[in-house]
Structure 1
Amino acid sequence: MASPSLSYSGALSEKPFLVGRPLGCFLPGVSRYSTQERCVVILARRLSGLEEAMRIRRSRELQTNKKIRSRPPLKRGKISGPLPVLDHIQKPSYVGSNQLPELSSEYQIHDDEGIIRMKAVCELAARVLEFAGTMVRPSITTNEIDKAVHNMIIEAGAYPSPLGYGGFPKSVCTSVNECMCHGIPDSRQLQDGDILNIDVTVYLNGYHGDTSKTFLCGEVNEPTKRLVQVTEECLERAIAVCKDGCSFKKIGKRISEIAERYGYGVVDRFVGHGVGTVFHSEPIIMHNRNDKSGSMVEGQTFTIEPILTMGTIECATWDDGWTTVTADGRPSAQFEHTLLITRNGAEVLTKC
């Protein structure tokens, strides 16, 4: 479940810097008219031309898609009440309060026992998400998906973390089409061509496991499919840079590099976060280019959960206080994993 950056006072008040060397820079020790420099310039021009061609192709696809189908804006359905949880199931401390918990300054770094528990809860979260994905089809409601997810989690002796978090009324987040994140399951039936992000977080034996994926519903047009595919690639490439001692800002740099090649926007309002005994904690994981300090530590767990958009990254939140949609009504997609940092890389704990 993404942490909204604006909820935490001053956490992301600084504008991220756009860093990087200009394409025309000179190589140290190389003369102005050397062969090496000319190769660098030629390569830069080729890359620039490739990116421009990709942007043109995507623009044409979007124009074609508009002519094929004009999808009406997302509308709220009827929201039913929260589902019951058995008394014997352990519940997080925030349950019973409608106040959004403060972002914890505690970093989630685990001993051997903690890692075992994190692996167990994340394995359950991954199985629940996979099961929820099998339900995605035209005519089903997100409320039905919520009920099935709730029952599966409860039967496993666990608690659905979103339920009661800051007053959230459901056990899972379901975000359709232009909904960036935190969509509330309701009575709206999924339509052929929709995309749906399902965000599952589970609380088991005192630990949270958090994961999400964007699913295709029926026949989805090619431009929207590509948005979903590239968003998943951004997550995978970002995970690949993670290891003990790596700076957190490399995550945003890697995601932005890939998204920019396709002309997609990277949402900066919602961020990844530390996760473990606490649902949302430091470190804040920014998915866009940034100059934030801090490095990863072996034994640490956190989420990476980029949201990419076809158009603007500006958003609007409905009066339910949760559902956040793109300001221009164009689609967005999100993927998320919980990671464990190791000496030589990152172990994906929520990989099914």
Structure 2
Amino acid sequence: MNLADPIDEAIALVPSRVAIIVDEDEITFAALGMSARATANEIEVMARAAGCRDVSIADRDAAGRVHEATGLEPLGEEILAGDGEPPPHLKVSDDDICVVLFTSGTTGVPKPVPFSHAILGGRIKAFAPAPDPSAPTLVSISCVPFHHVAGLVGVFVGLAGGNTVVLQRRFDAGAWLALVERHRVQRVFLVPTMLQRIIDHPDVAKADLRSVQLITYGAAPATPELIVRARGLFPGAAFVQVFGQTETLGGVVALGPEDEDAAKRGSVGKPMAGVEVRVVDPATGVDVADGEVGEFWARAPHTATPGWIRSGDLVRRDAEGYIYVAGRMSDVINRGGEKIDPAEVEAVLWAHKDVADVAVA
């Protein structure tokens, strides 16, 4: 499976809607998700990288940029409502591309990462239990963009489980608090920055958040101090940290409620079921000893390509198998021959009571 396979990709820049293909045997296009705030230049670069050709779907805010970048006249959001005649279908197999995501671009231009129907479907089934008509419906909230792996998988997992998903078009801490209270939301995924803004929002003290049962967080480092504060705000919720990347279709390592020992704070957890992990000297390809820093490698059935995925993340693993992130290989600062890890400096600054957020580069 690769982007040279004979199937078109369709640009989708529709932040407030979810398009679902319910026919398991036929589909017309693979979805190429982009940020609804992408500039015309960014759209052009990503569309060219992914080989997108014929179709785009965009809301009114993005339509002009899509046309400028590609020359295409985007279909409007009404196409997602099913109005009009359906397009002719194209037979595809499990190995054909279903969706194309982009890396975050931490080391340059975002790279297209294609996933097949089999891989995405298998990932969703692994997380979503079969719907039980006799069980009460769970309510989750999605405030992460759909072109990110967490947003895409999170929404589909909720729907595949027969549950309700509340969509927030663009994250705002005050609006998020109101939505959680109004819809009695039980399950949440948040980036640590979002969690910080929720905790610091002036309305948080009066918000009724007792419905929240599970908070999953990831996509960026979270300090132990932040999670301690969050637990005080959501005393009835279990906290799960996930660690992964676009190429692994989300988390491959998790730190669950059973790992709340203070000694494990700062860890991102242990490998999930079915995931193999190595910590490798990037210069030699040889595994390092427990406690030493190396590059994080992962292998799992749901990765974008078979074999080991080299993450570019620097981690260490303790004797019990817990993983601790030490930084990014591309972030290491070389000053006078001395290697300085920005993450270590950030951790020291973050510990100060008067520092709300920090970035070292």
Q: Into which bin does the TM-score normalised by the smaller protein fall?
A: under 0.3
TM-score under structure 2 normalisation? 0.25
Q: Which has the higher contact order (CA 8 A, sep 6+)?
A: 1
TM-score under structure 1 normalisation? 0.25
